[in-house]
Each structure stands twice: as structure tokens, then as C-alpha cells.
Structure 1
Amino acid sequence: MANKVKEIWKAGKVAVNGWLAIPSGFSAEVMAQCGFDSVTVDIQHGVQDYMSMVECFQAMGAHPVTPMVRVPWNEPGIIGKVLDGGAYGVICPMVNTKEEAENFVQYCKYPPRGTRSNGPIRSGMYGGAGDYQKTANADIICLPMLETKTAVDNMEAILDVEGIDGVYVGPSDLGFSYGLVPKLDREEPEILKIYDKLIKECDKRGLNPGIHCSGPVGAAKNIGMGFKLVTLLNDSGILATGAKSWVNDTRKGSGGKA
């Protein structure tokens, strides 16, 4: 299976990413039909576990989206396991130093580049036996998250780590780290300055910066800044936004009856 996100980046375009917090194959199936280039199962903050991740991947399998995962932490066991389960991209939280970024890459890559153990149990979805291992190191996306002041201080050293495909900004934690209110779409000059530097440093290295957005308005703004992957909230947030809007519109249009 080709990695659609890598193909998009190679073409100089931006990937639009979906996000699954709901542990439901049906929710994943619906999201996979909505036009996203990739869909990420969130095992860190979403209400997902390993088995619900596999179910989500199975539900998305019939659709042309790249399956990705945000793991709970930078730890070899879970990173290897989500890759064996079918992830074609890994987003890793709280990567703050060059050493932590190097460890992350090691966990994602087979020898000789890394230390990932061989056992891709669902590799049949990618091709014949043995083919997966030949291409996995090149095909799998590695995105450490930049979401703390420490990571910003170490930005250039992290970006210099061979094997990462870019970085993924967590705006809420990043702002929180600077004493600001946690939220997705940021307007503070000090944060925008960080974004500007990050995008320029990624461009120098041919890397692809990604970011989490609250919706299409924030995504468009971030695309305009130079981000190469934008996530549109998550399935539960989109559901709540749509439901609240429809309920409010119904009450407003009821003439006081509802």
C-alpha cells in the first residue's frame, strides 16, 4: 500500500488529516469516506485502546486513507505494536530533545537503522510475506510532537535527527508550556513567531511540519503559514459541533416552541 501522505508531500501539497477519539470501527469507516488524506487513531488522549485501533484500521481499509496513530508516549513497546497493527505513520507526544527524537526513530525503524522487532502481524494488508520489511523504513512516517518550551529550545537539534519526516505541533500543550490558555488555534505573537521559525527550519531540511487545528478556518490559516499537514479537530469534536449547531438552529427556528 502506497503512503498517500508521502505522495502528497512529494507533490508539494498539503495533507488533510482526520482524527479518531471515538473507539468505534463505524466512526472510523464514516470518517474514512469524508475525503481525508490520512486518519489518525489517538491512543494518547482519545478513548481508544489497541484493539479499537485495529478495528478502526480494519474499517478504514477499503478507503484510500493513510492509517496513522498518535501513541501515548515515546516507548518502544507501544510504537512497535501500533506499527505491527498497521499504522503507516506514528505521531509521538512530548519529544523534547535530540536524544528523545533519535530514540523515537529507532523504535520506528527496522535494523540497521533502528531497533524495531520483526513481527508485522497485519503485514498481509501491504503485500506478500517479506515485502513489508523491505519498504517499511522508507514508507512509515515519523512525526515527533513539538509541544513544550524545552522542545522549542531544542528545535534545530530535533529537526536534524535523521529519519523524522517532520514535526507535529500540539498547540494546546505548547501554549500551556508558555503560561497561556490551552487551545488549538493560536494568535499570540510569541507562538506565531515559533511557528514561523519552525516552518523555515523545516523548509531548510525538506521536512513537513504538521499541526492540530480546531476546524477549517484554523487549518486554512496554518496552510497559508506553510504547514504541510493539518488535522481537523477530531470525530467527537466534529460530532459535538454539528449537533450543537443543529439543536441551536432548531430552537431558534421554532418560534419559542422548543
Structure 2
Amino acid sequence: MSSNKVKQIWSAGDAVVNAWLSIPSGFAAEVIAQCGFDSVTVDMQHGVQDYMSMVECFQAMRSHPVTPMARVPWNEPGIIGKALDGGAYGLICPMVNTAQEAKSLVSYAKYPPDGTRSNGPIRAGMYSAPGTYQKTANEEIVILPMVETKTSVENMEAILDVHGIDGVYIGPTDLGFSYGLGPKVDHTEPKILRIYEKVVKECNKRKLYPGIHCGGAEGAARAINMGFKLVTLSDEAGLMSAYAKLQVNQTREMVSGK
């Protein structure tokens, strides 16, 4: 199994810049994969992605030096195993609220004796010589449960103590909802920032890697400066929309009154 670039970057003490794919398009994945990102995550929870589009995205990005990752729809063994068998080198799992749920995630994602994942890496096995994928998969695959509710914040330290996770991933919009705020990505509210600071502090204690979803470069840079080790720059739909609006508005401004 090829070495995981995300883990290599972390080992060097650097932060991972992650892309996010909501659109079920191999061509979109191919375009994003050659833009300089370290990893690319296919979103099967809220994106318009399904299992086959995830595989197509992974196939399209394979010729570029990015780590293929997936956000699974939920914490259950069927889709977690299939995402990994399809080639995911990293998993982001939503709504993990307790240590037991984190333990279940680890179990679903790792082969025995560390977990209960069923053997059958139908596509993932193509990343390595025949029969060798299983030997290093447990060490190479990144596992990030999402912290995005009051309950998960209250159980944060217990979740981080679960053996086998690599860190946690902040879902800022659901976290904001949980604390009575709107669906905002780049929070600046003191009570949310205090949670972020605690996440970073507790991850550092355990040599784990905190990640977070951001609205763009400004929020991502701020998060890295806070100590986050994986930052997502919006998604391809958001980036496309933002740039298209910018170009349209600039065009109208430049020809105003004509």
C-alpha cells in the first residue's frame, strides 16, 4: 500500500490543505486534484455524491499526488467498509458524539485484530502489490470522527482517548447550530473559538491532528495559525460559485452605464 501523503505531511510538522468534492463528476475531481491540494475528500453525506461517483472521483484523481479521502454518510460498517474498499485513504465520519461511537468507527475501519473490517479491498488493493494492502492499511488509513455537537464537545476528551483515531474534524455549521448560532462556517464568536482552542490543545496533548472545515483561504489560514493540522477550503461548488460571481460582478462594474 502506498504511503499516505496526509500522514507524511503531519510527520513533518506541517498542515494539510484539503479539497472537498460535492459534485458527482470525475472531471471536476480531476481538475481539483491538479490545483495543489494535499488531499481531496469526496462528500457522501451532504454532497450530491454516491458510492459510484466517489469511485469515479478517486479514479480521476489517481494520477495526481493527492490523498483520496471520503466523508461517509454515517457511522455504520457497510458504507465505511465500501468506502475503504473503493480506495479511500482517509475517512471523515459525521456526528460522532461519544467515545463508544468513536470506538465503533475505528472497529469498522480497521482489519482484525484492531477492528472488525471485512476483507475485500476490491479497488483499494490495486494501490499496491497483490496481497500487501492488508498489511499496512490499519496504519496508513486516516480516521477522523467529526466533533460538531454540544454532546461531542462535552465528550471530547473521552473521544480523543480512543485508540486508533488520528484526530478529529470540526463541522462548524452543525456545531454552531448546536450552540444556537446560524449555519456559519468561519466562526469568530468567542464561545466557539474557545472550543476550537480546546480541541487543538487536547489533540496536541495526545499527538493527534485536529481538522476543520473552512469557508476559504482566510478562514483556513486563521485555523492553521490556531494549530489546526488539516483545513478544508470550502468545496468545489462553493469555489466555482464564488469565482463566477466575482467575474460577473467585475464585468458589470467595468461596463457600468454603457
Smaller-chain TM-score bracket: over 0.9
Which deviations, in whole Å up to 9, do the C-alpha atoms of 1:88-133 show, x marking residues without a partner?
0000000000000000000000000000000000134321111000
Aligned to 2:28: 27
C-alpha separation in 2, matches of 1:191 and 1:144: 18
The one-letter amino acid of 2:88's match is: A
Aligned to 2:241: 240
Which deviations, in whole Å up to 9, do the C-alpha atoms of 1:26-65 show, x marking residues without a partner?
0000000000000000000000000000000000000000
Kept after mapping to 1: 8 A contact 2:125/2:131: no
Aligned to 2:209: 208
C-alpha separation in 2, matches of 1:254 and 1:125: 54
C-alpha separation in 2, matches of 1:156 and 1:124: 35
Aligned to 1:100: 101
Aligned to 2:69: 68
Query: Which secondary structure does the structure 1 equivalent of 2:56 belong to?
Result: helix
Query: Which secondary structure does the structure 2 equivalent of 1:247 belong to?
Result: helix
Kept after mapping to 1: 8 A contact 2:157/2:202: yes
Q: Indicate the percent of aligned positions where both proteins have the same amino acid.
A: 71
* Mapped pair 1:140 → 2:141: yes
Report the TM-score when normalising by structure 1: 0.99
Which deviations, in whole Å up to 9, do the C-alpha atoms of 1:162-185 show, x marking residues without a partner?
000000000000010000111110
Kept after mapping to 2: 8 A contact 1:24/1:56: yes
Aligned to 2:152: 151
Q: Which runs of 5+ in 1 are unaligned?
A: none
The one-letter amino acid of 1:255's match is: S
* Mapped pair 1:114 → 2:109: no
Aligned to 1:123: 124
C-alpha separation in 2, matches of 1:173 and 1:211: 12
Query: Which secondary structure does the structure 2 equivalent of 1:150 belong to?
Result: helix
Aligned to 1:168: 169
C-alpha separation in 2, matches of 1:203 and 1:2: 23
The one-letter amino acid of 2:174's match is: D
Structure 1 stretches of 4+ moved >3 Å:
none
Aligned to 1:18: 19
* Mapped pair 1:39 → 2:40: yes
The one-letter amino acid of 1:181's match is: G
Give the Å deviation of 1:202.
Answer: 0.3
Report the TM-score when normalising by structure 2: 0.99
Q: Which runs of 5+ in 2 are unaligned?
A: none
Give the Å deviation of 1:256.
Answer: 2.6
Kept after mapping to 1: 8 A contact 2:70/2:83: yes
C-alpha separation in 2, matches of 1:201 and 1:124: 35
Query: Which secondary structure does the structure 1 equivalent of 2:182 belong to?
Result: coil
Aligned to 2:254: 253
